[in-house]
Amino acid sequence: MTAALEVRDLSVRYGGVVALDGVTLAVPAGELHGLIGPNGAGKTTFLDGVSGFARPSSGAVVVGGVDCTALPPHRIARLGLTRTFQTLELFDDLTVEENLAVVAAATPAAPTLHEETEEEIPLPSTAARVEDALSTVGLERCGGGRPTTLSNVDRRRVALARALVAEPTVLLLDEPAAGLDPGETAELAELLQRISAAGTAVLLVEHDMALVLGSCATVHVLDAGRLIASGSPEDVRIDPEVLRAYLGVT
């Protein structure tokens, strides 16, 4: 069976800089994987190359068996892959609900048929989808305000809800725990477990090692644009290449 997300030999260049160098990894439906690496390792570039925000110089991105390589971000989102940003990139002059509605309107839900009657089930309205996504992240009552009025953790919840409202099969997260306290991080970990357990393939980019090693079944490690390890948290933690990349151990 093909994984929800398959990335093969992906490279991204910025001018003369090879920011990502032939990375291959897959995230199956229902799994939560981590992507770690030192500053500048290429983690954000990987998410950019996969989600259409950077044009790969070579390689392939396949979402649900469909080749998405070098498609624009909105087309990739409609094929089921959404992401959050390290710098959140919320629309600060829109309300929280409007931030989500823009994405919901651009990613129409697929019609489904009733199991017994085979009649088409009416699609939920944009407003219902927005409400549902806000409730998933615990932000039921903040929809009418602007993101600028919210705390860091709530702004991060809006960013996550905006990715979720597209009902993704693949969700990429760029440092969602930045600035969160331990309690907020534990809540995020629980939420990500729930999202992946419901069937979404989740790839978590994080510097918070406790979060990644404690929540992810599989961890991928980038260093200088290359994938240097992939495996269980236990294996990655003691991998000599990983120790060298993080600690400068030779």
Which residues of the chain form contacts with ligand ATP (CB under 6 A)?
A: 14, 17, 19, 37, 39-45, 86
- Rank residues 42 and 52 by Cβ distance to ligand ATP and give the closer one: 42
Both tokens of residue 190? 């629980």
- The Cα 184–Cα 168 span in angstroms is 23
Of 57-65, 83-91, 134-142, 239-247: span binding Mg ion (CB under 5 A): 83-91
Burial (Cβ within 10 Å: 0-12, 13-18, ≥19) of residue 199: exposed
210 binds, among Mg ion, ligand ATP, none (CB under 5 to 8 A by kind): none
Nearer to ligand ATP, 11 or 107 (CB): 11
What is the residue-wise DSSP string for 172-206?
Answer: EEESTTTT--HHHHHHHHHHHHHHHHTT-EEEEE-
- 58-63 and 32-36 as β-strands: parallel, antiparallel, unpaired? unpaired
* Residue number with CB closer to ligand ATP (19 or 77): 19
- Beta-carbon count within 10 A of 209 CB: 14
Size of the site for Mg ion (CB under 5 A): 3
Q: Give the nearer residue to Mg ion in terms of CB position, either 44 or 196.
A: 44
7 binds, among Mg ion, ligand ATP, none (CB under 5 to 8 A by kind): none
Q: Which C-beta is closer to ligand ATP: that of 27 or that of 96?
A: 27
Choose from Mg ion, ligand ATP, none: what does 14 bind? Cβ within 5-8 Å by kind: ligand ATP
Of the residues 5, 19, 44, 136, which one makes contact with Mg ion according to CB under 5 A: 44
Smallest separation, CB 56 to ligand ATP (Å): 13
Selection from 2, 1, 22, 27 nearest residue 10 by Cα: 22
CB-closest chain residue to Mg ion:
44
Min separation Cβ 220 and ligand ATP, Å: 12
Residues 116-175 that bind Mg ion (CB under 5 A): none
In this structure, are residues 222 and 43 in contact, taking their beta carbons and an 8 Å threshold? yes
In sequence order, what are the residues at sequence separation of 6 or more whose Cβ sits closer than 8 angstroms to the Cβ of residue 240? 249
DSSP at 231: E
